[in-house]
Structure 1
Amino acid sequence: MTLTSEIIKVGIADVKTTVYPNTLKTSGLGSCVGLVLYDNKAKIAGLAHIMLPDSTVAKKDNQNRMKYADTAFEILLHNLLTSGASKANLKAKMAGGAHMFGFKSDNKMLRIGERNIEAIRVLLHHHHIPLISEDVGGNKGRTIVFDIDTSMLEIRTVNSGTKQI
C-alpha cells in the first residue's frame, strides 16, 4: 500500500499542521517569516506564515491571531501538541524576514523582517525549542516547502534559485 501525499498550503497570516507523508508550503515570504516546528519522531509538523512581530500593538477588534509572531507561535505549538507531537522533540526552521523596501531607514518600525526574526528567536529560546537552521534577511521574497519525512526545508528565493536547509 502506498501513501498518498498532499501539499498543505499555508496562506498569509495562517497556521497549519499535518503529518507524514504530506508537505507544508507557503509563498509570498517577503518581510514575513515562515516558521516550521516539527517532531521528526512523531512525523508531524506545522507551519506559521507570520506577518508582524507583536500582537500587543494591534487593535483588539477583528484581529487575526495568526498574523503575529507571539500569538501564531502559541497557536502552532498548541496544535502540534494536541495532535501528538512531543514538546521535548520539537525543532524549528525558519525562512523569510527580508527587508523589502528599497530605502535605508533607522526607523525600527519599518524593519519588519528583522523584528519578525528576532521575535521568533525569543519565542524559541523561551520555549527551549532549538532552531536547527534558517535562511533569513536579504531583500528577496521566498517560497518554502517542508518535507516532514526528511525534515528538509526547501527555499526558493526570487531570482536566486533553490536550496535546502
Structure 2
Amino acid sequence: MEIVVSISDMKVTSRAKDVIVTHALGSCLGLAAYDPVAGVAGLIHCLLPLARDSKAPQKNPAMYVNTGVPQMMRAMFGRGATRENLILKAAGCGRMMHISNQFDTGANNFAALQKLLQVNEMHLSAEDVGGTIPRTMRLFADTGRLVISSCGRSWEL
C-alpha cells in the first residue's frame, strides 16, 4: 500500500508491503529512516529548520526539522527500531527558483539536520540535497530501498 506523506507530515510503518512516498521536495527536507532488523520504516517532510515559537511544535512538530525528526525517531523506537540499526537518507533542501538570499530555507533545513545528527552521534548513509530540482521520495518498507524521482528520471539513493 502506498502511504503519502504531505508537507509538514511524517509516517512510520512496520508493514513490509507499504511504500511511503512524499512529493514536491523543493527546499523542504525529506528524511527516510529504516531499521532492517526491526523492519520499521519512516519518512518525514519538514518545511522549516527550527521551531522558534514554543507553541508551534505542539501544533505540528513535523513542520520543523528540530522537532519533527526526533518525533519520527521516537515513533520508530516505539516499534522496535534502534539507533544502532537505523539507516538514514536525506533528499530535498534545494534552492527553488534560483533565489539566493539570507533565507536559504533548503540550506538551513540541511544544516539543522546535520546539527541534530551530530549532537546525537548519528550520520546519513546517503543524501541527494541542494540543486534546483523538485524531488519525490519513495521508501520501500520491505527492504529500505529509497528511490528518488524528478523531471521524468528516477535513481536509487
Q: Which residue identity does 1:126 align to in structure 2?
A: V
- Give 1 or 2 for the bigger CA radius of gyration: 1
1:83 aligned residue (58, 75, 79): 79
CA distance in 1, matches of 2:71, 2:27: 21
Equivalent position SS for 2:96: coil
* Pair 104,160 (structure 1): closer, same or farther in 2 beyond 3 Å: farther
Matched, 1:161 2:130: no
Q: In the comparison of the two structures, how many residue pairs are matched?
A: 155
Q: Which runs of 4+ in 1 moved over 4 A?
A: none
Q: Which runs of 5+ in 2 are unaligned?
A: none
CA distance in 1, matches of 2:87, 2:122: 6
- Greater shift, 119-128 or 140-149, is seen at 119-128
Q: Which residue identity does 1:137 align to in structure 2?
A: G
Query: What are the Cα deviations for residues 123-149 of structure 1, in whole angstroms up to 9, with x where unaligned?
Result: 122222231101000011111101122
Query: What are the Cα deviations for residues 56-76 of structure 1, in whole angstroms up to 9, with x where unaligned?
Result: 2x4736742110001001210
Task: Map 1:1-165; keep pairs closer than 5 Å.
Answer: 6-19=1-14, 20-56=16-52, 58=53, 60=55, 63-105=59-101, 107=102, 110-157=103-150, 159=151, 161-165=153-157
CA distance in 2, matches of 1:126, 1:119: 11
CA distance in 1, matches of 2:117, 2:141: 20
> Which residue is 1:3 aligned to?
none
CA distance in 2, matches of 1:99, 1:70: 20
Q: Is the 1:49–1:67 Cα contact (8 Å) retained in structure 2?
A: yes
Equivalent position SS for 1:55: coil
Q: Is the 2:41–2:144 Cα contact (8 Å) retained in structure 1?
A: no
CA distance in 2, matches of 1:118, 1:144: 20
What percentage of aligned pairs have identical amino acids?
Answer: 33
Q: Which runs of 5+ in 1 are unaligned?
A: 1-5
Q: Once the 2 structures are TM-superposed, how far is the Cα of residue 114 of structure 1 from its aligned partner?
A: 0.4
Equivalent position SS for 1:48: strand
Q: Once the 2 structures are TM-superposed, how far is the Cα of residue 21 of structure 1 from its aligned partner?
A: 2.4
Q: Is the 2:35–2:85 Cα contact (8 Å) retained in structure 1?
A: yes
